[in-house]
Amino acid sequence: MAQGKRRGPAPKPERARALRRSQVEASEIERLEGLLKSGAPASGTSPLDLATAGTTPNASEWATSKAFDGYPLSRYTQDGLAAAKYVQPTAIQRAVIPHALVGRDILAAAKTGSGKTLAFLLPIFDELRKVGPRHELSAGVLVGGKDVAEEKTRVQGLNILVTTPGRLLQHMDETAGFDCSTLRTLVLDEADRILDMGFSAALNAILANLPRQRQTMLFSATQTKSVEALARLSLRDPEYLAVHEKAEAPTPVRLQQAYMVVNLQDKTNILWSFIRTHLQARSKIIIFLSTCKQVRFYFELFRRLRPGVPLRALHGKMSQAKRMDVFYEFNDARAAVLFATDIAARGLDFPAVHWVLQADCPDDCAAYIHRVGRTARYTAAGKGLLLLLPSEREGMLAALQGARVPIRELRQNPDKVQSVLPAVQAMLSKDHELKLAAHRAFVAYARSVHKHGSSRVFDAAKLPVAEYAASLGLLATPRLRFVRRGAVGDDENDEDDEGERAAPRAHQAAPARPQSREPDEPASDEGAASDGDAGTDDEAQPAADSEDEFLVVKRRHAAEADQEELDSQAPDTAADNTDALPMTTTTSKKKKKLKIRVDRPVAGSAKIVFDEEGEAMDPLARLAAGAGSNGDEPATLEEHAAALRERMALADARDKVDARKRRKEARETKRAKRLAREQSPDAGVELGDDAESESEDEAEAFGGRFRAGMVAELREGAGAEAAHRDMAPAEPATLEDQEALALRLLASRRA
Ligand SMILES: Nc1ncnc2c1ncn2[C@@H]1O[C@H](COP(=O)(O)OP(=O)(O)OP(=O)(O)O)[C@@H](O)[C@H]1O
Q: How far is CA 75 from CA 71, 222, 428, 671, in A?
A: 11, 34, 61, 114
Indicate whether residue 90 lines ligand 1 (CB < 6 A). yes
| Complex prediction ipTM | 0.99
Looking from the CA of residue 373, the nearest atom of ligand 1 is 26
Q: Ligand 1: distance of its center to the CA of 718 in Å? A: 60
Q: What φ, ψ does residue 356 adopt, rounded to 5°?
A: -115, 120
Q: Is the CB of 425 under 6 A from ligand 1?
A: no
82 lines ligand 1 (CB under 6 A): no
> What is the spatial order of strands in the sheet that 215-220 belongs to?
185-188, 215-220, 106-109, 239-242
Q: Give the strand pairing for 106-109 and 215-220.
A: parallel
**Which residues, 6+ apart, have CB-to-CB distance to 437 below 8 Å?**
293, 296, 297, 300, 301
Pairing of strands 239-242, 255-261: unpaired
Q: What's the pLDDT score for residue 445?
A: 93
Alpha helices, DSSP H, located in 282-389: 292-305, 320-332, 365-372
Burial of 35 (0-12, 13-18, 19+ CB in 10 A): middle
pLDDT tens-digit profile of 423-455? 999 999 999 999 999 999 999 999 888 877 656
Closest CA to 460 of 437, 440, 443: 443
DSSP 8-40: SPPPPHHHHHHHHHHHHHHHHHHHHHHHHHHHP
- CA torsion sign for 105, 109, 115, 117 is positive
Residue 561 Cα to ligand 1 midpoint, Å, equals 31
Residue 181 has phi, psi (to 5 degrees) of -70, -20
Q: Using a 6 Å cutoff on CB, does residue 72 contact ligand 1? A: no
Residue pair 139/160 in contact (Cβ under 8 Å)? The answer is yes
What is the best residue among 331, 377, 379 to mutate for testing ligand 1's pocket, by most ligand atoms within 8 Å of CB? Answer: 377
pLDDT along the chain (751 residues), means of 10: 49 76 80 87 87 64 91 88 95 95 93 94 76 61 73 77 79 83 83 73 81 88 75 86 90 97 94 92 94 97 95 94 94 96 93 97 93 97 96 94 96 85 92 95 91 68 87 89 54 33 35 34 33 30 47 48 34 31 33 35 38 42 41 50 63 73 85 74 36 31 28 31 34 51 54 42
Ligand 1 neighbourhood includes 114 CB (under 6 angstroms): yes
* 116 pocket-lining for ligand 1 (C-beta < 6 Å): yes
Cβ(418)–Cβ(269) under 8 Å?
yes
The end-to-end CA distance of the chain, in Å, is 121
Q: Ligand 1 test: best mutation among 349, 350, 369, 379, most atoms within 8 Å of CB?
A: 349
The confidence score (pLDDT) of residue 113 equals 96
CA-nearest residue for atom 9, ligand 1, is 115
pLDDT of 549 = 60
pLDDT, residue 742, reads 57
Backbone angle region of 98, left / alpha / beta, with phi > 0 → left and psi within -120 to 50 → alpha? alpha
| Residue 115 CB–ligand 1 contact under 6 Å | yes
Which amino acid, 54? G
The pLDDT tens digits for 130-158 are 665 555 666 777 776 667 788 888 777 77
Distance 481 CA to ligand 1 centre (A): 45
